[in-house]
Structure 1
Amino acid sequence: MLHYICFKLLKKKITHDHVMYIINKVLLPRIEYLTQHIFIEPNKCNEFNRILRSIFKHSLSLPKSFFNSVVHNPIYPNILNIWDSQLRSQASLLNAQINNPVTSKVIEFLFLTSQCKLWTNNISETTKYFHKPSKHFSRLENLLCIFHFYNLSFNTNFKYNVTGGLHPISYFIVDPKKYFGFVKSLKNKNIFFLDQIISNDGAFLKTWKEIKKLLKNKRGRLPKWYDFLKDNIVLNPSTNRLQFTTQPDNMSPDLGFPRPKIIKCNNHSVPCKSQWAAFWSPRVSCIVYGKILEKSHFPGDSPKVYLEHHIPFKDMSNPNHNLTPHSTPNLLTPCTGCDFHDSFYVGDVRPKCIISYLSNFTITLHVNIYKKNNNRFNNIFIVHKSDSELRADTFRDFKIRTDPLFRNRLSSSQSITPHLYIPSNINHRLVNSLLLPNDFFNEFYTLINNLASFTNLDFYTDGSLKIDNDNPRMGFGWIFTSDINSKIEFSGATTQWPSSTRAEIMAVLTCLIVCPPNSSINIFTDSQCSIDTFTSFSNYKLTPKRKQKINNIILWQAIQQIIAELNLQVQFTKVKAHSGVEYNDKADKLAKDGCDSNRIISVSPKGVKTQKGYIMFNNDTIIDRNIRKTLKIPLNFRNIERQMSHKPLQALNSFTINHIINWEFSQLWINYNPFQKATSDSYSKHVGWRIKCSNYALPTLDALNNYPDILNGYDTCFLCSSATESNEHFWTCPKSIDILKSIFRNHEQKFRSYIINNMDKEKININNIDFDIPIFTLFNSPINSIHDAPELHCLLINLVPDCLLLPFKVRLLV
């Protein structure tokens, strides 16, 4: 279809406006409709874009090698990028599907399926490590992967978490080519968390032999994912020291420490050989090692072990002083006697220090006789685990057994939903779930208590927007007027998507959330937009997809939730702004005070039941409005950034950074039509020349030398005969500026006359107008001294410099 249409367009004599309309309004919507449930791969999108760009460039007489980023730049006449268009349509569709009661369960199932497929707790976190979409991904997974390239993220109010750890291993094995092979092996071995294969102190990767002991299926060779982990997250391959350290408190409480085998209950103790154990002693705050001599399990008594106490031994003959605590051999030697000795022990009298301890409170060890240089040391033993790791194990085991708070903290860290305090009061519950941060909860609780005795409540609400130095701030306020003597009022500030309407909505939301259940509310406001939106929610049956296109939809859905749960009867009354109504003026003052307040209050989307999912930009801005339109903003900035990143346009980038160019009026000028017809071939050529001129793409001699059959070896400027003729030199050549001097003198007079003849002389004093514009004043200097004039340079390349607007900033012209 695409090739056929493009082939037909090339044969027709149409202008760039026709091409833009056919591509943007006919062709791309058709492609979007046909591909709404599939995902077009990047290489296919690039192929489609290449075909469409060639037609558009041809209509504007642009060279085929012209910058593709300019073709999609919104500042110039442009065509939509199929890749960007796909992102906007798919993001809008996903947001509509997940927030539709009919399809939300299907999307939840797709998320769960993707989690199982990718072997992860968070598919957004896993897909961000992929550099491009994969053919193994579903439409949902590819879309989440693309989001990260545009600094977007998709968040849901539901989660399906696998318990048993906090660090899914999928985050650490992301190799796009081998990932699914790794996942297949991990599934067979039932390894989901990195916590399963690292030491209990969270600092070391276990050896494959240690991991193999924990697996049910011990067959097979060393897996490739283990080698990948050693190459990418291990700092020292000899010790398996990790490049990072996980928090021990964040590990699973069910560690399965090995315990000594308990013997049957009888009246005799059983001797043991070559069995070792350790435990944590709170008396000395250290680990205690021992060789098990006997086990006992007398009737009416707990199982016990009798240990020969051993203490750490340092090998002074070892010349290596650079060993870390983990790599230092854990050597033990018999204790010659200490306070741990149990004098009631009756048995072998050769050990000097005997300890009796509960069997279930110890951890078994793997210990051998120490050998060095083929020599056996009968009184020195080596433990197969480091002292630092065993200290962490025994201390953790001790804390789990003796400290309920520690045990509960571990359990709560593993639960899918933490056990939070849920108040019985409906208002308190709404405040806890909907509002952020919790620093102001007590203030709302006080307001709830003060209004609890009322059933008919009147409020005056207002919102304010304050813009200082491109730093917009929103404030809101309300005053309770049913009982003037109570003096109940509130004000605060809010953030994101600054507008006075959003501030007004926050004022309505915060006053409704403190109203008692089953009450009647009358809200007086001067915002007709808020009243109309509330009416459309209440009186018209909007489809879920249509609702998602309403600005501040999350706030409105939170208001609907508050009204439903509190069973409120809400009525709005319009008040004329700044009309002398006493309480409306007070609410206005509260809103303005809120702009300067540090009490920044926002709504948590996770508490809004009907909002199952939402898109965030830059991990801090929730897009609660028309997704398709809003995503144009980051996409447009991305296209502009791509244009400015080209090496030939570094001067343009510098002018933009220094705020020399006014891009708003530059856009109007580039699209200005000086001809009588709405569109024509002459107009297309005229616009094409402006685009080439502003992007340094004119066919100057330095560019023509790339085509030796046309021009070879001559690239000197025809005017000055001293420099290479390039797009940059063309507008800074002294001879060119000398020619332009008389032209600009004439235009300066026309510029002054136009302003003077069209201004309102009763409101504007002509002496207050600044006509000293650098574009004109620089010609007062000698021509040879004019070599660095960025404002003039911008105007000559068909871009409007900001200084040209200085006379218009006094007042608007009539």
Structure 2
Amino acid sequence: MISSQAYIDDVSWITDTSYKLESILQIADEFNRLNNIQINPDKFALMTNDTNALKDKFIKLNFGSHVQEIQLIRPTESDRILGAWMNLDFSKVYVFNQCKNIIAGYNKIIRNKQLTDNMMRYIYNAVIIPSIEYISQHTILNDKQVAAPNILAHTLFKKKTNLVMTIPNCMIHSSLGYAIKDISAIQLQRQVTRLHNQLKNKGLLGMLSQLSIIRLQQETLSVNNVLTGWSIHLKDLKIKFNLIASTLTIMYDNNLTCQSNIKRKIMGGQLPITQVLNSDLLFKDRLNYHLYRHNIYFLSQIMAADGLRLLTYSDFDKLDSSHFDHILSNDQTPIVEHWIHNINDDSISPSIQAPVLIKCTGCELKDIQPRSKRKTANNRCLLFIDKKKTINVKAQSIQDAYILDFLVFEYIAMIENRIKYSTTNAQEALVRSMLDFFHPTLLRNQLRNIQDTVKGQSSLTIYTDGSFKRHSNTSVMMGSAFKIIETNSIFQCQIQENPSVIKAELMAMIMALLCLDKGTRVTICTDSQIIINQFSKINTLSILAVQRLKLQYSILWILFIKLIRFKDLIMTLQKVKAHDSDDHSNIVDKLAKEACSKECLVIDPKLLAHNGTICWNHKPMERNITLMVKDIKETQYIEQFFMLNRNRYFTSPSDLELFDWSLTFRYIKDKFDETSAFDS
């Protein structure tokens, strides 16, 4: 027996010509023979959209020292490349059929098996769903395509568990029911998380994602960043083969949006084209392509100067060709004489030649035919221009020519730069004052007063605390407070949204850090061991590494770390025992409890808006995206159940107050946990 070790792998090459492919194959053959690598030529396959090559089933290519016959894959056929199934027609049918076949095969296997409902749920959630999730990771299915495999799963599950077929599917997916995973929910979780990771990436992936977003903004003729201004539903999406566009549509359908500190706003008009033309008209016959090719985003760009007619494509060609003119009449619509750049040497780039202008003897721009019978009059190129679309040019007259003060192409760049991107960054306001992002004014002024009080202090001790009060099953209050010992400064306020003790405590620390000078040595005393442990884990990590951890309230943790590093603070967290003999701790604890009934502090989303921050209902998600999407879908299932016609009795607010919902849901859940159906 000979002991040996072998490695198996596959490889894919992408080229645009058969000549380049043969060159690559020659190098690969030499490398294989040099390193004693064995290959299986029978597994070779070539995917091409060349209609001439597709006439046969095989193609012969030079593979090193011999000719290899390779099987052809047609554009409608799919093949797996790096784990993803794709075809040159960009069709989703193959992946969709794979998803259906996986569930159909699963149904065929378990149809006659004796399984409980819990067994079927485990197999479906832990085996079938991950398989579908992996296959469709680069494909977004529409509502009809998602419904097809879901129906296959629902039907068999109801039969095996002896449930009536009329039971709402939302209760099959809800955690109050059987918690069978929904393909649409899994798809939303996967794609939103993928987009978030793309936008957070600082390397090549992040750069390519930003370029794709700019390209998508041009293709949709959006005057705002498509991440923040997307308003197209999946059923209305006309852009094909764009994963980012499809992801934004399913997010929009589920009230999810993106926030970005990169505005990328296009300026230059009042009424955008997208508000005049609906998506059906905008994408019909590639109209959007022709419009953005001419940099047309606003209605005013396709209207004549008198506002009575639309411009034609020939008008666009005139508008897009910048030219130099000498004004002859200074009216509302001036008459000008066309002048051109004098090119003396064709072998030298015009951009570095002398900026000398001479008269044009006639070209396609000529609008006015002179009435004079003199021959020299016909050699003048006269036209009308729109005075609003001109800039003044400084030049010196020398005989029959003009010499410009700057190069010709510098002036052309000035006039053609009609569309400008506004890339204002909200984080630049960190240099000025972060407190401007806190509202209302009363609380902001209190923080500014504390900021003035501690100015010049090199070392401070701060006590912080957060309070969490549950008044009922539907009412939760949070309060945050801190006290600076050296200056006896105190602050307290109410906090809302995503309530928890950790958030209340963390917000108290953030507000305290906002008031400190740069380089301050600060000791924060807190009774929260969870925050101390979490801080010790992430204190030395980069911001990108903290983002990857997917912490709860990650946005607040990132702001907390940024404040420490921006202000060069030397910070120590110290644990104090709650409700002990420490007077300062007891005072802050009392302030935090009182803060639950005080004025509420509101943080402007711009402060928390990093590029690609995922929001629900236009509010940044402070929890893990996957878990947050799961809770959103769970709420939708319950809402669908209540909106059924059979449950219209429960939609009356007065009737809803008569029910003890906590007891009802607990009873239902216990029933499902204790009872399992068995099909013999």
Instruction: Report TM bin, short chain.
Output: 0.5 to 0.7
Separation of aligned partners in 1, 2:304 and 2:584: 66
Q: CA deviation at 1:501?
A: 1.6
Deviations 1:220-259 (Å, cap 9, x if unpaired)?
Answer: xxxxxxxxxxxxxxxxxxxxxxxxxxxxxxxxxxxx9xxx
Instruction: Find out whether 1:105 has 2:207 as its counterpart.
Output: yes
**How many matched pairs?**
498
Q: 3-state DSSP class of the match of 1:40?
A: coil
Q: Which amino acid in structure 1 is aligned with residue 623 of structure 2?
A: R
CA distance in 1, matches of 2:277, 2:597: 48
The SS at the match of 1:631 is helix
How far residue 507 of structure 1 moved from its aligned partner, in angstroms, is: 0.9
Contact 1:189 1:217 in 2 (8 A): no
In the TM superposition, 1:369-768 aligns within 5 A as: 416-417=422-423, 428-432=432-436, 435=438, 441-468=444-471, 470-481=474-485, 483=486, 486-538=487-539, 544=545, 547=548, 549-598=550-599, 600-602=601-603, 604=605, 606=607, 611-619=610-618, 621-654=619-652, 658-672=656-670, 681-682=677-678
Distance 1:46-1:479 versus aligned 2 partners, 3 A rule: same
Pick aligned residue for 2:278 from 174, 199, 204: 174
Provide, for residues 711-748 of structure 1, a one-character-per-residue CA deviation record: whole Å limited to 9, x for no partner: xxxxxxxxxxxxxxxxxxxxxxxxxxxxxxxxxxxxxx
1:193 to 291, 298, 302: 298
Unaligned runs of 5+ in 1: 220-255, 264-271, 279-291, 296-392, 398-410, 686-814
Distance 2:197 2:634 in 1: 23
SS of 1:162's partner is: strand
Task: Please give the residue correspondences for 1:86-105 in structure 2 after superposition, counting only pairs within 5 Å.
Answer: 86-102=187-203, 103-105=205-207
Alpha-carbon separation, structure 2, partners of 1:138 and 1:212? 28
| 1:161 counterpart residue number | 265
Larger radius of gyration: 1
Q: Following TM superposition, by how much is the alpha carbon of 1:152 offset from its aligned partner in structure 2, in angstroms?
A: 1.7
CA apart distance, 1:78: 3.4
Are the structure 2 counterparts of residues 524 and 68 from structure 1 closer, same or farther at C-alpha, using a change threshold of 3 Å? same
- Distance across 1 between alignment mates of 2:484 and 2:179: 53
Amino acid at match of 2:256: L
Task: Return the alpha-carbon distance in structure 1 between the equivalents of residues 589 and 283 of structure 2.
Answer: 58
> C-alpha displacement at 1:560, in angstroms?
0.6
Q: Report the equivalent of 2:126.
A: 25
Shift of 1:638: 1.4
For residues 656 and 71 of structure 1, what CA distance do their matches in structure 2 show?
28
Query: Out of 183, 204, 207, which is 1:82 matched to?
Result: 183
Once structures 1 and 2 are overlaid, which stretch shifts more, 73-82 or 30-39?
30-39
Contact 2:649 2:655 in 1 (8 A): no
Kept in 2, the 8 Å contact 1:96–1:545? The answer is no
Q: CA deviation at 1:574?
A: 1.1
SS of 2:266 mapped into structure 1: coil
C-alpha distance in 2 between matches for 1:577 and 1:130: 52
Q: Deviations over 1:555-596 (max 9, x none)?
A: 110111111111112111111112131111221233233323
Deviations 1:371-418 (A, max 9, x none): xxxxxxxxxxxxxxxxxxxxxx99xx9xxxxxxxxxxxxx9x976146
Does residue 139 of the first structure (1) align with residue 243 of the second (2)? yes
Cα distance in 2 for residues equivalent to 1:633 and 1:445:
38
Deviation at 1:108, TM superposition (A): 2.0
Whether contact under 8 Å (2:238, 2:283) holds in the other structure is no
1:119 match:
221
Provide the rounded CA distance (Å) in 2 between the counterparts of 1:421 and 1:160: 15
Cα pair 1:554 1:605 within 8 Å, conserved: no
TM-score normalised by length of structure 1: 0.54
User: Would the alpha carbon gap of residues 126 and 672 (structure 1) be closer, same or farther in structure 2, given more than 3 Å must change?
Assistant: closer
Flag the 1:109–1:446 CA change in 2: closer, same or farther, 3 A.
Answer: same
Instruction: Look up the SS of the partner of 2:422 in the other structure.
Output: coil
Aligned residue for 2:107?
Answer: 6
CA distance in 2, matches of 1:199, 1:476: 60
Asked if structure 1 preserves the Cα contact closer than 8 Å seen for 2:199 and 2:209, the reply is yes
Secondary structure of residue in 1 paired with 2:524? strand
**Alpha-carbon distance in 1 for matches of 2:493, 2:303:** 48
Q: Give the deviation of 1:476 after TM superposition.
A: 1.3
Cα deviation digits, residues 451-490 of structure 1 (max 9, x gap): 2222221100111234446343322111111x2xx32222
Does the 8 Å CA contact 1:462/1:503 hold for their aligned counterparts?
yes
Aligned partner of 1:216 in structure 2 is 317
> 5+ unaligned residues in a row in structure 2: which ranges?
1-101, 337-386, 392-416
Q: 2:121 aligns to what SS in structure 1?
A: helix
For 2:149, the equivalent position in structure 1 comes to: 48
Q: Are 1:10 and 1:55, in contact at CA under 8 Å, matched by a contact in 2?
A: yes
CA contact (8 A) 1:462 1:591 kept: yes
Cα deviation, residue 199, structure 1: 9.0
Q: Is the 8 A contact 1:555 1:603 kept in 2?
A: no
Task: Quote how far apart the aligned CAs of 1:87 are.
Answer: 0.7
Asked if structure 1 preserves the Cα contact closer than 8 Å seen for 2:233 and 2:252, the reply is no
Cα offsets for 1:635-668 (capped at 9, x unmatched): 1221222223332333455599523444444344
**Change in 2 beyond 3 A, CA 1:34/1:139:** same
Q: Is the Cα–Cα contact under 8 Å of residues 480 and 592 in structure 2 kept in the other structure?
A: yes
Conserved 8 A contact 1:166-1:414: no
Matched-pair contact (CA < 8 Å) for 2:477–2:495: yes
Letter in 1 for 2:631: I
Residue deviations 1:613-653 (CA, integer Å, cap 9, x gap): 2122222x321211111122221221222223332333455
Q: TM-score, normalised by structure 2?
A: 0.64
